[in-house]
Structure 1
Amino acid sequence: MTPPPARLPDSASLQAVLAGLDPASVDADLVPALAAAFRGFDFSLAQVDDEYWRDARSVIRSDGTRVGELRPWMMAELAKDGGDIRALWTRLKETDLQITEWRGNSAFVFAPTGTGVADYIQIALGREIEWRAGPVVNPDYRPWGEEELLDPSWPRHEGLPDTDRLAGPIYRLLDRAGGAFVHVRSFLDRCGRIERDKREAKRPELERRVIREVGPDGTRETPFLQAVPDWFDFVPRELRFFRDWEASSARSQLVFAHWALDVRDYTHKGEREVGFIPRPLKIPRERLQMTPETSVHQLMDRIEAIDRELALPFGWFFLMTHGHWVEPDVGLAIADGLKAQRVRLPDPDAAVLLRWSERTYGF
């Protein structure tokens, strides 16, 4: 009997799996729990070192007894003192009340759904721990406004001892901009469709637009679409990233073994915003920057070293599109070297780089 098709995860079922994990063994249990809930998927987990703080603080006593959430509790306490911040501070600094904070790091779960480079799902999570962070008010400094009480800056931001751990670790869906769960190929299709729709909506306006140039023979007018005939053929950078991966030496490896995607999909002022910023899971020891004295042959040595560090052929190129670890000028210099036949790359990689150099993109 043919097994039923695998059921794609959804937000509610993912949250149910996460809620059922024991903090004591959450890291070991996450992938098996997902595999049990969504049979047919081969899940893998990648964690990112990018500490963040949640805007969710609580108030506790020194013995750990929970008093309430910081903001509503603090506003009620301020009301008791008739809005007098000095009186509130004087009263609270003599108590044993403390603030808790949730601190986390991003984590991503992946699972392939096919053989294509974009045939996989991604789940964006936060791995979070609640800590005892500091006194409810700064005993050495009187706050001057409500916001200093509600959004305190005095809690410690350095590493905390394990004795100050209150809860967690837990895993939580990170739905910061509508991108907690994506099927990547479907998402790319959505990116392309929305971009086409946006451009098509401007067709009547662009058909009327002209470019005026003033020269010695007078003013010449050129229809915009005649001057820019490929305006409607624009390919979003998100699609180009995956197409370049598929067309290059990198195609021998899985995208999600090397990159996570910070996905956004939301509507702002009636305009649909959809796309992603790629985040490298592996980074080189040093940035590759272009300097006047750097030769193209030195650049070739450096990009080969980066590829070895990443264990990814042509990996330097995708770091370059990200923009931080390899400067775009490096790619342009190597493209010029290819055109002058001073250096060589494998034919697929050379074609991708030369195409990029004609119309660059980056994140």
Structure 2
Amino acid sequence: MTVAARLPDAASLETVLAGLGPASADADLIPALTIAFPGFAFGIAPIDDDYWRDTRSVLRPDGTRLGELRPWMIAELAKENGDVTAVWERLKEIDLQITEWRGTSVFVSAPTGPGVADYVQIALGREIEWRAGPIVNPNYRPYGKEELLDPSWPRTDQLPDSDRLAGPLYRLLDRAGGAVIHVRSFLDRCGRVEREKREANRPELEQRVIREVGPQGTRETSFLEAVPDFFDFVPRELRFFRDWEESSAGPQHIFAHWALDARDYTHKSEREVGFIPRPLKPPKERLLTTGDISVHALMDRIEAVDREVGLPFGWFFLMTHGHWVDPDVGHAIAEGLKAQRVRLPDPDARVLLRWADRTYGF
């Protein structure tokens, strides 16, 4: 059913998130979004990807905050004329501590229509402030001031709940323009930007010549003759969704299985729009083509992957990512299909053979 409601926007989302109390933020997030944006069936998917914000505070043992770490430490260095060792020697003898915000990504999605790309995705960070440790590492003398200004040594430690200071708080993640996306519109943008880039190079490409030197001399071929479909290129992001829609995975929502780490930014006057898909439930083990494993054994293993992740043809989309299923698995099964040694459902076979003819990955 098509949702006749305004799409979530960054400013309204920030207002909703600011109104969540830390004690009940987890329970209140979806209800608060539903109230702010009626008509949407929001769902939440956490990602296990710990990150750290660069915001830290200096804390006394009684909990009094002396300020943000970086400007406070710069002032301490100035007292010692920039002598890093002198600052370290002094600070390691006192009880000051530093705090640190640690977070994990959370993706909130809601369908906006019947199509595979008809949904909105919101990338959030779920963050908690912790008492991370003493102001300096007493057992390790820093070699430069950056080790004082941007300490990384506490980050590997698992912190007890007694060191929890604030949170959880939710905030929009600054994902290079991809914090809030309507996926169908985002895909349209991906295709349009790619076409515009290629069209902008048309005059130069029409003049480009490929020269090949062989026994019969030099042969010249125009670039567009050698690559006749250059202007028909389909970005991998669009192919991912098209393959999903045309395969056995099609009846299920993409956002039930994948989050999109989206980006839309300009670097050196070049527009970059796209995403990296991230599985919400990756398999426990990677599937590789090792030794002389047969295509029939690979078929058994891809079926096991599909059962584990709860998605028909799920192995294929894990393969396009390139980490959990090796692309060689796809090539081996494609060759098995061509030789009629194995079978896949017809829609899946068409998608796989199309991929094998012109691969893509993230």
Alpha-carbon distance between aligned partners in 2 of 1:212 and 1:85, rounded to the nearest angstrom: 60
AA of the residue aligned to 1:99: I
Residue 156 of structure 1, CA deviation:
4.9
Alpha-carbon distance between aligned partners in 2 of 1:239 and 1:134, rounded to the nearest angstrom: 46
Instruction: Give 1:96's aligned residue.
Output: 95
**Aligned to 2:7, what secondary structure does the other structure show?**
coil
Alpha-carbon distance between aligned partners in 1 of 2:121 and 2:301, rounded to the nearest angstrom: 31
Cα-to-partner distance string for 1:318-345 (whole Å, 9 max, x where unaligned): 0000101100000000000000001100
Question: Structure 2 matches for 1:192-231, cutoff 5 A?
Answer: 192-231=191-230
Alpha-carbon distance between aligned partners in 2 of 1:223 and 1:194, rounded to the nearest angstrom: 25
AA of the residue aligned to 1:353: L
**Aligned to 2:6, what secondary structure does the other structure show?**
coil
Question: Structure 2 matches for 1:42-57, cutoff 5 A?
Answer: 42-57=41-56
**Aligned to 1:177, what secondary structure does the other structure show?**
coil
Instruction: Give 1:248's aligned residue.
Output: 247
Alpha-carbon distance between aligned partners in 1 of 2:136 and 2:247, rounded to the nearest angstrom: 56
Query: Taking structure 2 as the reference length, what is the TM-score of the superposition?
Result: 0.97
Query: Following TM superposition, where does structure 1 have runs of at least 4 consecutive aligned residues deviating by more than 4 angstroms?
Result: none
Cα-to-partner distance string for 1:214-251 (whole Å, 9 max, x where unaligned): 23332221111111110000000000000000000100
1:165 and 2:146 are equivalent in the alignment = no
Residue 79 of structure 1, CA deviation:
1.3
**Gap regions ≥5 residues in structure 1:** none
Is 2:3–2:112's contact at 8 Å kept on the other side of the alignment?
Answer: no
Alpha-carbon distance between aligned partners in 1 of 2:76 and 2:352, rounded to the nearest angstrom: 62
Cα-to-partner distance string for 1:74-128 (whole Å, 9 max, x where unaligned): 1012112222223322222222210001111110000000000000000001111
CA 274–162 in structure 1, closer or farther in 2 if over 3 Å, else same: same
Instruction: Give 2:66's aligned residue.
Output: 67
Q: Which deviates more from structure 2 when the two are superposed, residues 94-103 or residues 140-149? A: 140-149
Is 2:194–2:235's contact at 8 Å kept on the other side of the alignment?
Answer: yes
Cα-to-partner distance string for 1:169-210 (whole Å, 9 max, x where unaligned): 111111131111000000000000000000001101111111
Query: RMSD of the TM alignment (CA)?
Result: 1.3
How many equivalent residue pairs? Answer: 361
Query: Taking structure 1 as the reference length, what is the TM-score of the superposition?
Result: 0.97
AA of the residue aligned to 1:86: T
AA of the residue aligned to 2:89: T
Residue 151 of structure 1, CA deviation:
1.2
**Aligned to 1:250, what secondary structure does the other structure show?**
coil
Instruction: Give 1:305's aligned residue.
Output: 304
1:147 and 2:173 are equivalent in the alignment = no
Instruction: Give 2:25's aligned residue.
Output: 26
**Aligned to 1:167, what secondary structure does the other structure show?**
strand
**Aligned to 2:95, what secondary structure does the other structure show?**
coil
Is 2:3–2:39's contact at 8 Å kept on the other side of the alignment?
Answer: no
1:110 and 2:109 are equivalent in the alignment = yes
Is 1:134–1:156's contact at 8 Å kept on the other side of the alignment?
Answer: no
Alpha-carbon distance between aligned partners in 1 of 2:104 and 2:94, rounded to the nearest angstrom: 32
Residue 4 of structure 1, CA deviation:
9.7
CA 198–313 in structure 1, closer or farther in 2 if over 3 Å, else same: same
Alpha-carbon distance between aligned partners in 2 of 1:159 and 1:308, rounded to the nearest angstrom: 33
AA of the residue aligned to 2:248: S
Instruction: Give 1:12's aligned residue.
Output: 11
Instruction: Give 1:84's aligned residue.
Output: 83
Instruction: Give 1:292's aligned residue.
Output: 291
CA 213–86 in structure 1, closer or farther in 2 if over 3 Å, else same: closer
Alpha-carbon distance between aligned partners in 1 of 2:269 and 2:182, rounded to the nearest angstrom: 24
Alpha-carbon distance between aligned partners in 2 of 1:312 and 1:106, rounded to the nearest angstrom: 23
Q: Which deviates more from structure 2 when the two are superposed, residues 22-31 or residues 77-86? A: 77-86
Instruction: Give 1:342's aligned residue.
Output: 341
Is 1:134–1:154's contact at 8 Å kept on the other side of the alignment?
Answer: no
Is 1:128–1:169's contact at 8 Å kept on the other side of the alignment?
Answer: yes
**Gap regions ≥5 residues in structure 2:** none
AA of the residue aligned to 1:54: R
Alpha-carbon distance between aligned partners in 2 of 1:13 and 1:54, rounded to the nearest angstrom: 23
Instruction: Give 1:188's aligned residue.
Output: 187
Alpha-carbon distance between aligned partners in 1 of 2:128 and 2:150, rounded to the nearest angstrom: 19
AA of the residue aligned to 2:6: R
AA of the residue aligned to 2:339: A
Is 1:290–1:327's contact at 8 Å kept on the other side of the alignment?
Answer: yes
Alpha-carbon distance between aligned partners in 2 of 1:143 and 1:228, rounded to the nearest angstrom: 55
**Aligned to 2:20, what secondary structure does the other structure show?**
coil
Alpha-carbon distance between aligned partners in 1 of 2:3 and 2:126, rounded to the nearest angstrom: 32
- Residue identity over aligned pairs, in percent, reads 78
Instruction: Give 1:175's aligned residue.
Output: 174
